[in-house]
């Protein structure tokens, strides 16, 4: 940080301020995490200086020998980790990765069956506000009203009626297991390609904490941050027969040169994710989420589906007479950073929904375990009981800061804090 402090102290001061925030709060947005110092080093490396349109051994610019080796390393590590036949590590993030799948498999138009955004799906699975719902004909499946789980019978019925060419599964706010095998059966029945978006659960899938998407899916997409603890990027894994179409959709279909510094950081994160320590980490993420859910239930909260199988829990704040936005705002003032979120069959708008989404990846990276999750559940309960009490929230904020001090945030220089 020394050169930055010298050249642009204003930006440096803001980064230091953000470092202090990340170090002193409980970061519980499920899609956030702490990248390792090695990943951060690769992300900020001189690879940012190099332009590399094309693919290894098929570049449009010279001087690519080192870049080719780096990208090939990332590809091979991704294939090995996910047991995939082909991998593309160039997408700039998860949404561009999904866009490339649409372009590669469907072209300019086609029929897609995806999980409803309000049920926990992602924007790119067919939401009207997204390119996916604008340029493609979409039908959405949802959840059972009885238990809040994916309604596979409904998905099958809709697939038979709608006859999609592509089916998306995976979610961004669904606390239970996604049955890839069941979706594959539905896809085969109607002759559709199955795409599994595992951006939220990628780490769980490769460490045995959640069923793996292959061999059931034709294509798997993922971000490279979140549970993988890599840089902000994306990747696409697929069957070999689809490799050419996918690669062409990424480049030159949607983007030019890859971000080589990100590619290198992805390679580092994939190496870290292949270690026994990472498998232990993912086991603890799930154990922590279950402990958090139990602690919240014991304190009277209502949870969507009554618990969790993965890394997140979804609180129904409306059941306690609150709104998701008011509870999330109070939690932030108490030092607990989560996000307001729609819950299944929510009568409130996305701008002021009924739910709050909490995740355990970042807390687990800091070394917290089940005992700390019970403390956190208590903090959440105290926040809900003192929503407008500035003094009570300030006291909670100090307790949170004290807890965070016992579990230093990796990748953050103590000198910045």
232 carries an active-site annotation: yes
Detail the residues annotated as belonging to a binding site for (6S)-5,6,7,8-tetrahydrofolate: 117, 121-123, 240
160 carries an active-site annotation: no
d(CA 341, CA 330): 15
**Out of 149, 156, 232, 248, which one is annotated catalytic?**
232
Tokens 């704040």: give the residue: 317
Instruction: Tell whether 199 and 296 lie within a shared domain.
Output: no
b/e map of 292-302 (b: 16 or more CB within 10 Å)?
A: bbbbbeeeebb
Examine residue 122 and state whether it is found in any structural domain, yes or no: yes
145 carries an active-site annotation: no
Question: How many domains, in total, are found in the chain?
Answer: 2
Res 415: pLDDT: 65
CATH of the domain at 221: 3.40.640.10
Detail the residues annotated as belonging to a binding site: 117, 121-123, 240
**Out of 197, 272, 309, 346, which one is annotated catalytic?**
197
Provide the residue range defining the domain that includes 314: 284-416
Contacts of 282 (CB under 8 A, 6+ apart): 203, 204, 207, 209, 227
**Out of 20, 32, 50, 51, which one is annotated catalytic?**
51
Res 137: pLDDT: 97
Res 1: pLDDT: 80
Instruction: Tell whether 47 and 174 lie within a shared domain.
Output: yes
* pTM reported for the whole predicted model: 0.95
226 carries an active-site annotation: yes
Containing 86, the helix (H) or strand (E) segment is strand 86-88
**Out of 207, 223, 305, 323, which one is annotated catalytic?**
223
Examine residue 297 and state whether it is found in any structural domain, yes or no: yes
Please state the length of the chain: 417
Regions of the chain where pLDDT drops below 50: none
At 311 the three-state DSSP class reads coil
Res 194: pLDDT: 98
Instruction: Tell whether 297 and 149 lie within a shared domain.
Output: no
Nearest of 137, 138, 136, 154 to residue 146 by alpha carbon: 154
Instruction: Tell whether 255 and 330 lie within a shared domain.
Output: no
Instruction: Tell whether 63 and 184 lie within a shared domain.
Output: yes
């Amino acid at each position: 940080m020394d050169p930055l402090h010298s050249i642009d102290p204003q930006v440096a001061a803001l980064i230091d301020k953000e470092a202090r925030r990340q170090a002193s709060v409980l970061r519980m947005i499920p899609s956030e995490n702490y990248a390792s110092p090695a990943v951060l080093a690769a992300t900020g490396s001189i690879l940012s200086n190099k332009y590399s349109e094309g693919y290894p051994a098929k570049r449009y610019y010279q001087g690519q020998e080192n870049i080719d080796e780096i990208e090939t390393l990332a590809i091979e590590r991704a294939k090995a980790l996910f047991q995939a036949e082909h991998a593309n590590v160039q997408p700039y993030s998860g949404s561009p990765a999904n866009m490339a799948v649409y372009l590669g498999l469907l072209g300019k138009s086609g029929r897609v069956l995806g999980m409803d955004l309000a049920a926990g799906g992602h924007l790119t699975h067919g939401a009207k506000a997204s390119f996916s719902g604008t340029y493609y004909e979409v039908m959405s499946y949802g959840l059972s009203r009885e238990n809040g789980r994916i309604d596979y019978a409904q998905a099958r019925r809709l697939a038979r009626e709608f006859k999609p060419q592509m089916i998306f599964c995976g979610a961004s706010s669904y606390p239970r297991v996604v049955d890839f095998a069941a979706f594959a059966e539905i896809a085969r029945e109607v002759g559709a390609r199955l795409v599994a978006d595992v951006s939220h659960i990628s780490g769980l899938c490769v460490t045995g904490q959640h069923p793996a998407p292959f061999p059931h899916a034709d294509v798997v997409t993922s971000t490279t941050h979140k549970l993988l603890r890599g840089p902000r990027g994306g990747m696409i894994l697929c069957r070999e027969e689809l490799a050419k179409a996918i690669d062409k959709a990424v480049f030159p279909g949607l983007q030019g040169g890859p971000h080589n510094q990100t590619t290198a950081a992805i390679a580092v994160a994939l190496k870290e994710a292949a270690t026994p320590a990472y498998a232990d980490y993912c086991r603890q993420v799930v154990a922590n989420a279950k402990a958090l859910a139990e602690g919240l239930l014991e304190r009277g909260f209502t949870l969507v589906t009554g618990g969790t199988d993965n890394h997140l829990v979804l609180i129904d704040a409306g059941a306690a007479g609150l709104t998701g936005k008011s509870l999330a705002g109070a939690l932030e003032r108490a030092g607990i950073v989560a996000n307001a979120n729609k819950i299944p069959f929510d009568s409130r708008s996305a701008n002021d929904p009924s739910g709050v989404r909490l995740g355990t990846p970042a807390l687990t990276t800091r070394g917290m375990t089940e005992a700390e999750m019970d403390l956190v559940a208590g903090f959440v309960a105290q926040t809900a009981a003192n929503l407008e009490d500035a003094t009570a929230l300030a006291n909670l904020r100090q307790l949170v800061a004290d807890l965070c001090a016992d579990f230093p945030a990796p990748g953050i220089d103590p000198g910045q804090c």
